[in-house]
Amino acid sequence: MNFISARYNMYHNGIDITIFDGYILRIDCNKAETGLKTTP
């Protein structure tokens, strides 16, 4: 069974996803929002 935990990291403005095996994936919110278009 894999344990996955995700939390917002306010110091890096990103989301840290930790997997039980010791891997950490960081999603940078600034890069993820680049090119995002919203409509009024």
Q: For the segment 1-40, what is each residue's pLDDT rounded down to a tens digit?
A: 578 889 998 888 889 888 887 788 888 888 888 888 888 7
Residue 38: inside a domain: no
| Inter-residue contact 17 to 27 (CB < 8 Å) | yes
Is residue 15 included in any domain, yes or no? yes
Query: Cα 5 to chain center, whole Å?
Result: 11
pTM above 0.75, yes or no: no
Q: Which domain holds residue 8?
A: 1-33
11-38 exposure pattern, b = at least 16 Cβ within 10 A, e = fewer: eeebeeeeeeeeeeeeeeeeeeeeeeee
In a domain, 39, yes or no: no
Domain count along the chain = 1
**40 lies in a domain?**
no
- What is residue 8's predicted lDDT score, i.e. its pLDDT? 92
In a domain, 6, yes or no: yes
| Structural contact between residues 32 and 15, judged by C-beta atoms closer than 8 angstroms | no
Other CB atoms within 10 A of residue 9 CB: 13
